[in-house]
Amino acid sequence: AYDTIAANDGVLQYKYLILSFNLITHEFKEVNLPVSIANMVASFISISKLNESLVVSAYTDDVNGLVHGVWMMGEEGDVMTSFTKLFNIKTHDESVSRVLGFTMSGEPIMETQEEFTWYGTFKIYKPCSEQINYLGINGSPGSFFIHPYTETLLLVDHSDCCIISNDS
């Protein structure tokens, strides 16, 4: 989502944010993005999950040029606090299209595209060593997708999630 802000010169500016909806309380809540990415075009921002926390990533300007930054939302109890920068993904001759998710050890799984190529690649970034591991998977840019697996005991084929037994 975004807020429209009128500047002093009358030009409209946009401040991007995350709009969340609580399924229990039925309330909407605005989550402010880190300042360095709040004014960016929303299509360049990736949202994912790491250890049950919200993570955003996007390109930002750094003293070393353009880097892909990763921030995690902090929580104190049930209250979400501000984002904390975890690390920058440093690449040499390729660009990070987006962070798709994270491994169980917290390493970002990302889609990259090397310069002058038509295809995207699936890679894992190692923040400690700043190495990028190629997983041997290529595809059309924007075709990669990861969704976290969640086990559930809910019964999918019963609308009320109850098993009806004919036993008396």
Report yes or no on 152 lying in a domain.
Answer: no
For residues 134 and 154, which has the higher predicted lDDT (pLDDT)?
134
Instruction: Work out how many domains the chain is built from and give that number.
Output: 1
Q: Looking at the predicted structure, is the pLDDT value of residue 121 above 70?
A: yes
Report yes or no on 41 lying in a domain.
Answer: yes
DSSP helix/strand/coil, 72: strand
Residue numbers of the domain that contains 69: 2-139
pLDDT the model gives residue 72: 93
71-104 tens-digit pLDDT:
999 876 666 678 999 999 887 767 888 899 999 8
Report yes or no on 54 lying in a domain.
Answer: yes
pLDDT the model gives residue 38: 82
> How far apart, in whole angstroms, are the C-alpha atoms of residue 139 and residue 119?
6
Token pair 């559930």 is found at 152
For the chain, the first-to-last Cα distance in angstroms comes to 53
SS3 track for 3-65: EEEECCCCCEEEEEEEEEEECCCCEEEEEECCHHHHCCCHHHCEEEEECCEEEEEEEEEECCE
pLDDT the model gives residue 157: 60
> How far apart, in whole angstroms, are the C-alpha atoms of residue 87 and residue 108?
10
> How far apart, in whole angstroms, are the C-alpha atoms of residue 75 and residue 81?
5
Report yes or no on 62 lying in a domain.
Answer: yes
Report yes or no on 21 lying in a domain.
Answer: yes
> How far apart, in whole angstroms, are the C-alpha atoms of residue 66 and residue 88?
10
The two structure tokens encoding residue 123:
């890679």
